[in-house]
Amino acid sequence: MTSLHLNYDQIANDYDQRYPSAQQWERGQALLNLAKRINARTILETGSGTGYWLTLLSQVTPNLFGFDYSMGMLQQSQNRPAPLSLARGTATQLPYENESFDLLYCVDAIHHFGDHRAFIAEAFRVLKPGGALAVIGHDPHETGVKGWYIYEYFDSVYETDLQRYPSAKSILHEMQETGFQNPAAETVEHIHNVHIGKNVLDDPFLKHNATSQLALLSDETYQTGMRKIKEKLEQSTAAKELITFRSDFPVKMLLGYKP
Ligand SMILES: C[S@@+](CC[C@H](N)C(=O)[O-])C[C@H]1O[C@@H](n2cnc3c(N)ncnc32)[C@H](O)[C@@H]1O
């Protein structure tokens, strides 16, 4: 049985391989636009990882706070050019005073927080009136198994994601219940990568430690998935057919305002 919890200390050193320097991420642009639009002076990212997105937001304000459970990830974010105020703990108990932030966001992280309702309540508490909560990520409940080739080739990954990720619908519902105004989903990026033939082996997201999906797998289960991909490549070469491996799913921003 695959574990549902990943210790990010184990993969912190290699984590940033997912962010090649040439890539411009639309979700980063969406965050930047939001921060500018609401004139955010104080910003907190929960599950801030290596500080990649906070660094981008240094264009908007110097008051950037990163909060993460993993010491290894926090250590990586100390080397960022922008000075970040960092703290360690769990997102369901934030060590900040009421009404401290104009913007609180998380990227690819809410599924790690365990009790997402408790996190949303904490976000509401530490946001200033008029402040915004933005939850960014993909929703495997919507993506479906065909949306990401990783789900097709690696045993149990899709089922585990269904267990780990709250659906976008349930997060919006909880934001509404907590008191956020006008919670709504917006697609801020569309992941659309088509790897042709053996180019798939260069996909940085296929590395064992690049995503929690694969990092949660034992070596054996990971190698079984890699073998399936390689067998498929061999079969297509033998049949002189072109095979493609697709990642094709939306990344959403779930946004609500504290009245
Ligand atoms: C997939 S990474 C995302 C990091 C960063 N947001 C990014 O997009 O690059 C998920 C992060 O959530 C952190 N995390 C996991 N459980 C947490 C918790 N309960 N409270 C706060 N952070 C947590 C992990 O340590 C990790 O850094």
Residue 50 CA to ligand 1 center (angstroms) comes to: 9
- Atom nearest to 49 CA in ligand 1: 27
Global pTM reads 0.95
Ligand 1 centre and the CA of 24: distance in Å? 21
Domains in the chain: boundaries:
8-257
State the distance from the centre of ligand 1 to the C-alpha of 149, rounded, in angstroms: 23
CATH of 8-257, one of 3.40.605.10, 3.30.450.20, 3.40.50.150, 3.40.640.10: 3.40.50.150
| Distance, CA of 58 to chain centre | 20
Residue environment code for 110-133, b if the CB has 16+ CB neighbours within 10 A, otherwise e: bbbbeebbebbbbbbebbbeebbb
What does the pLDDT profile of the chain (259 residues) look like in tens digits? Answer: 556 788 999 899 988 888 877 678 999 999 999 999 999 999 999 999 999 999 999 999 999 999 999 999 999 999 899 899 999 999 999 999 999 999 999 999 999 999 999 999 999 999 999 999 999 999 999 999 999 999 999 999 999 999 999 999 999 999 999 999 999 999 999 999 999 999 999 998 999 988 899 999 999 999 999 999 999 999 999 999 999 999 999 999 999 999 9
221 alpha carbon – ligand 1 mean position (Å)? 24
Residue 73 Cβ < 6 Å to ligand 1: yes
Tell me which of 19, 54, 70 to substitute to probe ligand 1's pocket, judged by most ligand atoms within 8 Å of the beta carbon. Answer: 70
